[in-house]
Amino acid sequence: MLHVYRTTDTIANERYLFEVDTFFDELVEAGMHDFLHEKLYRNIIYQVDGARLNPDLSVSGKFGLTNLFNISSGCKAILLAVYYSNDRNAWVNFNSAGENALRLMYNLAKHIEIRIKYDGVVTASNECLVEFRGVTMTASKCLAESRKGIL
Amino acid sequence: MSKEYTLKVDINHVHVSIDLHDKIVLIMGDSGTGKTYIFNMLRRYELGGNASIVKSNIPNKNIVTIKSKEDAHYKLVTCNRCTDDIIIFDKTEDYFDSKLVDWINKHPNRCIIMARGFKTNGIKARLESAKELEMEKIGEHTYLKTVDA
């Protein structure tokens, strides 16, 4: 399920991962990156950035051989959202994610809990349930309400 | 129409060319297309990196990079004193507000905005100023250039 939080909302006891790049980079620098070698995370890096994570944590992609700090913000946002999917208090800022990253995230949200801070219009398919301010609805209803300015 | 200027950035095997036809250029597009990569290259240059990696046919232009409210607060105060900087904005969704949009619209500095959409409402730019990055790989070299969105 996709849980959406708007700028004007308040969430008790939340941990809001606002600066996605900084938070992700610090996670990697702190050595907390083993999870990235799992298939799900490697697939995310490939699908969003067209890049491959190597065993030594270098990244081979469009810009040649680089490192995890240079993957896109949208990719980092999805990696964090999936990594923290079991933490009910962690919300990831998705406002810098491109359309391709959002589409992948909607797809993942059909199967796992994703919590995002997002001020745009949610355009997930109806197979994705969306929770908005405590109310669960289909994605199409969420889209209709967003367009009316209700959500 | 203003004179056409170009900003070129070369680092390792990545070569970037940004056409600055207008005062404000909005670079849009999917994640992973190079927006933040270019921004980071220019930020390293701004912080004292190799001067030869950035070239432009715009005389006496300083590069100023902004990716947070703090950056905007401290650096734009400096930019207010001169009119010949190229200012590059990234992560605009996190800190853009009406005050900053108003500053961009009124100030004569050229601005490159890595945009994802909704928070750049109010920016006074021509439709033709909206660009995407087109990538071409030739051997081990990657070429990025701005094309119409």
pTM: 0.87
The verdict on ipTM greater than 0.85 is no
If one compares B102 and B21, the residue with the highest pLDDT of the two is B102
CB contact under 8 A, B94 and A120: no
Residue B72, both tokens: 């905007």
Residue B120, both tokens: 């750049």
**Strands annotated E in chain A:** 2-5, 15-17, 52-53, 58-61, 64-67, 90-93, 114-117, 129-132, 135-138
In chain B, residues with a C-beta closer than 8 Å to the C-beta of A72 are: 31-33, 35-37
- With bands split at pLDDT 50, 70 and 90, how would you rate the model's confidence at A52? very high
**Longest alpha-carbon distance in chain B:** 45
CB contact under 8 A, A98 and B29: yes
Shortest distance between the Cα of B29 and any Cα of chain A, in A, equals 6
CB contact under 8 A, A18 and B94: yes
Report pLDDT digits (tens) over B95-106. 888 888 888 888
Q: Please count the residue pairs, one from chain A and one from chain B, whose beta carbons lie less than 8 angstroms apart.
A: 71
CA distances from B30 to A35, B52, B121 (A): 25, 29, 18
CB contact under 8 A, A64 and B116: no
Q: Determine which of A29-38, A39-48, A100-109, A117-126 has the lowest per-residue pLDDT on average.
A: A117-126
For chain A, the residues whose C-beta falls within 8 A of a C-beta of chain B are 18-19, 21, 48-51, 62-64, 70-75, 93, 95-101, 119-120
In chain B, residues with a C-beta closer than 8 Å to the C-beta of A49 are: 31-32
CB contact under 8 A, B14 and A63: yes
CB contact under 8 A, B32 and A21: no
- What letter does residue B132 receive in the DSSP assignment? E
In chain B, residues with a C-beta closer than 8 Å to the C-beta of A63 are: 14, 34, 37, 142
CA–centroid distance for A9 within its chain: 19
If one compares B57 and A151, the residue with the highest pLDDT of the two is B57
Three-state SS at B17: strand
- With bands split at pLDDT 50, 70 and 90, how would you rate the model's confidence at B52? low
Considering only alpha carbons, which residue of chain A is nearest residue B134?
Answer: A62
Q: Determine which of A116-120, B2-6, B74-78, B141-145 has the lowest per-residue pLDDT on average.
A: B2-6
CB contact under 8 A, A98 and B37: no
